Amino acid sequence: MSLSHVDPNNKAAMVDVSAKPETVRHALAEARVTLNEAVLAQFDGSDLISKKGPVFQTAILAGVMGAKQTSSLIPLCHPLPLDDCKIDITLDGRDAVVRCSCKTTARTGVEMEALTGASIAALTLHDMCKALDPGMVIHGVRLISKTGGKSDFHAP
């Protein structure tokens, strides 16, 4: 098996997907942000409230915007029209769990968009809460599932 974005001369190359059929593609990704007690104390039951505004709602918007810009951020990523992008943020103990679900009808998968959306939302959480906890840790950025292509993937 070889890397898909490396040509026979070991140079970076965009994958040619022109011969592939368009199919409905879906991907789900996750990122986690560990919060301290000072940040958690700002939780009002549905969102974290900071001096900058509603943290979760702002992070959701930033994550969707990030997912839409993926091909501008990742050099060999194909530009994809997103049919849907949803971001959900929940608390799991001290972790804010960010999940990004992306869907498209295209010749290539939408995994990078989901990963980018989750990552940008997590970075926005960090930015909005750093005054209370500059040592927040973003971790566990991972693909949970992808469907619709040559092979499906579901994380254990």
Question: In the chain, at which residue ranges do the beta strands (DSSP E only) sit?
Answer: 23-34, 49-50, 53-54, 84-92, 95-106, 137-147, 153-154
Catalytic residue at 83?
A: no
What whole-number distance in Å separates Cα of residue 85 and Cα of residue 95? 22
Answer whether 36's CB lies under 8 Å from 132's CB: yes
* Active-site pick, 47, 95, 127, 133: 127
Catalytic residues: 127
